Amino acid sequence: MAKRDTGLRFQPSGGTRTTQVPTGKKQRLKIERLSNDGRGIGFVEGRTWFVAGSLAGEEVEARVLGAHGKVVEARTERVFQASPLRRPAPCPHFGRCGGCSVQQMPREEQLALKQRMLAEQLSRIAGVDPQEWAAPLTGDEYAYRRRARIAVRWDARGKHLEVGFRAASSQDIIGIEQCPVLVQALQPIMSALPSMLRSLSKPQALGHVELFSGSAQAVLLRHTAPLADKDLAILQAFCATFEAQLWLHGEGEPQPVDPSAQLGYHLQPWNLQLAYRPGDFVQVNAQVNTAMIEQALVWLAPRPDERVLDLFCGLGNFALPLAQIAQEVVAVEGVETMVQRAAGNAVRNDLHNVKFYQADLSQPLDKAPWVAEGFRAVLLDPPRDGALEVVGKLRSLGAERVLYVSCNPATLARDTVELIKQGYQLKRAGILDMFPQTAHVEAMALFEASK
């Protein structure tokens, strides 16, 4: 029996549904300004377009990567009218690879963008400007990255192993055999890696690959099934060619194929050698990392009679240089294995006035036994979600000076509000250009207690 047409028509609640912009659609538009993450902003038919790879004042053709509501995310396909600031990107994969997002900008413009982003967050969220802006802390523009994770995926339909970096706004893998931001020591390994991996008998069992350059070169292979003997021999021969260590990550922790292999990095100004294992957090830019530590020591100015607290200490990147100056350093980290390695680093460097503890740094610290004696100076280097619970108790520890190293200006600004409530003043701040060619901002801020 056929359904009777009642003549009624219903709309979804909320009124007329907006037609979404389809992925892949191309649109010509004018870029009005830049967003905080370096993408161009344009407006078409009531929608706001965020266009990667564009500059303010340009007229471009943008390809849609995704859309939700009135926001469209896109990338630049063609430039009809270029900004005078535009420069040729040195990497042929720019615009497709998700690694470097602002190569079209001169270095000075990249730094200015990051400076604006930090200043805007501090002003808008915390309502404060530092008493002094420090000059940007910079290093080499290219060939700076000493660590890289290479995506590897078996395409069952095409019977092909994909090797490269993740695409921008996508899970696609862009085949890359050279990367201008990798340190020179890793370039030949990167170039030869795809063909070697494709020669293995069980490519379906391969996960990601991690490259590291420090006291030695190292190649870590993540695998989800045992490796065949002939595949292991291929991997060992490959690493021997490039004088690199081979590390394997199956079940459990990553392990070197040669049990005697030592991996780490050197902090030259302090004659410190820090051991490292793949999977540990380490700053990828060695040059800026050294300059960052030097600046932190100058700003925090620890004295020989002071007790200093280092929060989110990792492998001891700040704690060990601090221990060469201060009377005592207490260093705290959330991951127990990192605490153990940091303590080992202190012993190997003959530093016995630094103590390492494991603690949940998302919780207040006032009940920890090692806070009882208090601290005159505190350094913290938290992850992207900041350290709100920690900073809420710093004044009660007796801290006169607080040095905050941040990888997220938004959470730095949020935590600044809490520090100001406790009577601290923002004395000095500046950006750290840890990731040139990207819009990622790292910053350093010095707070001092009001007299």
pLDDT for 98? 86
Q: Is 407 a catalytic residue?
A: yes
The domains of the chain, with CATH numbers, are 26-86 (2.40.50.140), 111-140+285-449 (3.40.50.150), 147-256 (2.40.50.1070)
> Please, which residues have CB within 8 angstroms of residue 374's CB and are 6 or more apart in sequence?
307, 397, 398, 399
The pLDDT value recorded for residue 17 is 56
Assign residue 101 a region: left if phi > 0, alpha if psi is -120 to 50, beta otherwise?
alpha
C-alpha–C-alpha distance, residues 266 and 299, integer Å: 22
| Per-residue pLDDT at 177 | 80
**pLDDT given for residue 227 in this prediction:** 94
Q: Rounded to two decimals, what is the model's pTM?
A: 0.92
Q: What six digits make up the tokens of 217?
A: 């070169």
Bridge partner residues of 185 (DSSP): none
CB-CB neighbours of 360 under 10 Å: 11
Residues 6+ apart with CB under 8 A from 165: 93, 97, 98, 99, 150, 151, 173, 174, 176, 179
Strand 328-333 to 307-311 pairing: parallel
Out of 91, 239, 313, 407, the active site residue is: 407
pLDDT of residue 405: 98
Per-residue confidence in pLDDT tens, the chain, 451 aa = 444 444 444 444 454 455 788 999 999 999 999 998 899 999 999 999 999 999 999 999 999 999 999 999 999 999 999 999 999 998 999 988 888 999 999 999 999 999 999 999 999 999 999 999 999 999 999 999 999 999 999 998 889 999 999 987 778 899 988 899 999 999 999 999 999 999 999 999 999 999 999 999 999 999 999 999 999 999 999 999 999 999 999 988 899 999 999 999 999 999 999 999 988 999 999 999 999 999 999 999 999 999 999 999 999 999 999 999 999 999 999 999 999 999 999 999 999 999 999 999 988 787 788 888 899 999 999 999 999 999 988 999 999 999 999 999 999 999 999 999 999 999 999 999 999 999 999 999 999 998 7
Q: Which token pair is 54?
A: 């564009």
3-state per-residue secondary structure call for the chain: CCCCCCCCCCCCCCCCCCCCCCCCCEEEEECCEECCCCCEEEEECCEEEEEECCCCCCEEEEEEEEEECCEEEEEEEEEEECCCCCCCCCCCCCCCECCCCCCCCCHHHHHHHHHHHHHHHHHHHHCCCCCEECCCECCCCCCCECEEEEEEEEECCCCEEEEEEEECCCCCEEECCCCCCECHHHHHHHHHHHHHHHCCCCHHHEEEEEEEECCCEEEEEEECCCCCHHHHHHHHHHHHHCCEEEEEECCCCCEECCCCCCCEEEEHHHCEEEECCCCCCCCCEHHHHHHHHHHHHHHHCCCCCCEEEEECCCCCCCHHHHHCCCCEEEEEECCHHHHHHHHHHHHHCCCCCEEEEECCCCCCCCCCHHHCCCCCEEEECCCCCCCHHHHCCCHHHCCCEEEEEECCHHHHHHHHHHHHHCCEEEEEEEEECCCCCCCCCEEEEEEEECC
Nearest to 110 by CA among 433, 445, 442: 433
